[in-house]
Amino acid sequence: MTPASTVTPAPTTVSSKPKKRGFLRGLFRGILWFLAICLLLEIGLRFFGYGSYVIYRPDPQLLWLPVPGSHKITETNHLPITISPDGFRYPEALAPKQSGQYRIFTFGDSVTMGWGVDDNSTFSAVLEKQLNSSGCSNTKFQVIDAGVNAYPNALAAERLKKVLDDNYQPDAVILTYSFNTGFERLARLEGKEREQLLHRVEMKSVARRSALYNFLIEDLLRQVMYYRFRELLLQGSWDTAKEHQTVDVEQFTDGLKMAKQAAEAHHSQLVILLLGSEGETSEAHPYQKAMADFAQQNNVPIVNMISVLRAKDPKGLFLDHVHPTAAGHALIGEQLAAVVRGLDSYAAACKDAKTSSTITSNQ
């Protein structure tokens, strides 16, 4: 008997194409959902002010400057911030200085610019109100805030010189100590390094227009991500600025000398504002001590807020370890007003205004 032959069925092959197409469809749907959620968040967050932060444009000389615009808000507290057509935190464009006007510019970093306070609460605005409210009624005082977020001392001094060269005709200029000492080297960048920084500033200006970026990076994850992104922007790496903090007191002092010489060349009085952090009782950083020494050795009027705060309870004066509250700005403005009233140019302006007023009334 011949055994029946067994027929082995051919193996069934399952095509991988349907699985692949299913994966791609799922991935595509996931991307669409992600984009839809991002779009909804982008729109929704704008109702809460996100997407309205100040934008900074690249500048070949000063590296970054605020873009003019109203209806902007501060990153902290979301309070009104106005950048004038001239690029200063001031409510109006500056016309050529008129007779009977006394004009002051303030230079520095985010403290000077007024981090977390509204347009009327910066120490520049407080100083303007103080000077216009008493003592010299026939003179109109203007105090223009030329502070720029994240500026180191070197760039603040460079902007001071630029304002003088651009013929804004300030009677006095106030140079404020900047806490961004890790960025001093940026003012000296040249060639390709400078071009790369300007490109990164441009890229960040695009990102900063996004409400979602404002919320996630500059608010929710500020301590975790924002400062690292800032290091990437300014230093070209994720590392902290500490690795670049080469303290060069001589170079720092040269910047103060340049500011003084530029002010004198334009018949403007230099005033120094030395700031300290919360709880600081002495000039802890070498640059702070150098600034105090420079003022003393060169007979430059100075407001030393470290000394002022030493005798006061700092409670309620700081938003964080360096940025003042509105009350802190008010205190700085009051101290500056006392020094400005002691300047020869202030006395001359008040005397000229009184003389002009007397002549007019006699006529």
What is the predicted pLDDT for the residue at 173? 98
Per-residue pLDDT of the chain (363 residues; tens, 9 = 90+): 445 555 555 555 555 667 777 778 888 889 999 999 999 999 999 999 999 999 999 999 999 999 999 889 999 999 999 999 999 999 999 999 999 999 999 999 999 999 999 999 999 999 999 999 987 888 999 999 999 999 999 999 999 999 999 999 999 999 999 999 989 999 999 999 999 999 999 999 999 999 999 999 888 888 777 777 777 777 776 665 455 568 899 999 999 999 999 999 999 999 999 999 998 988 889 999 999 999 999 999 999 999 999 988 888 999 999 999 999 999 999 999 999 999 999 999 998 766 554 444 444
- Domain residue limits, the chain: 56-353
Q: Which two tokens stand for residue 295?
A: 């003022």
For residue 296, which amino acid is it? Q
d(CA 75, CA 81): 10
279-297 CB burial, b ≥16 within 10 A, e <16 = ebeebeeebbebbbebbee
What is the predicted pLDDT for the residue at 139? 94
Q: Which two tokens stand for residue 50?
A: 């996100």
What is the predicted pLDDT for the residue at 12? 53
Instruction: Please check whether residue 102 is in contact with residue 341, taking contact to mean a CB–CB distance below 8 angstroms.
Output: no
d(CA 363, CA 346): 26
Q: What's the farthest any 2 CA atoms get from each other in the chain?
A: 147
What is the predicted pLDDT for the residue at 245? 66
What is the predicted pLDDT for the residue at 353? 62
What is the predicted pLDDT for the residue at 330? 98
What is the predicted pLDDT for the residue at 62? 98
d(CA 170, CA 268): 6
The 10 Å Cβ neighbour count of residue 210 is 18
CATH classification number, 56-353, choose in 3.40.50.1110, 3.20.20.80, 2.40.10.10, 1.10.1740.10: 3.40.50.1110
Q: At what angle do helices 249-265 and 153-165 cross, to 10 degrees?
A: 20
What is the predicted pLDDT for the residue at 121? 98
What is the predicted pLDDT for the residue at 111? 98
- 146 contact partners, CB below 8 Å, separation of at least 6: 88, 89, 105, 106, 107, 112, 159, 160, 163
d(CA 273, CA 220): 33
**DSSP per-residue string spanning 250-261:** HHHHHHHHHHHH
Residue indicated by tokens 């700085």: 332
SS3 of 83, please?
Answer: strand
SS3 of 335, please?
Answer: helix
The pair phi, psi for residue 22, each rounded to 5°, is: -65, -40
d(CA 266, CA 142): 18
What is the predicted pLDDT for the residue at 231? 76
d(CA 221, CA 214): 10
Q: Which two tokens stand for residue 347?
A: 């006395």
With CA atoms as reference, report the closest residue to 252 among 299, 187, 298, 303: 187
SS3 of 223, please?
Answer: helix
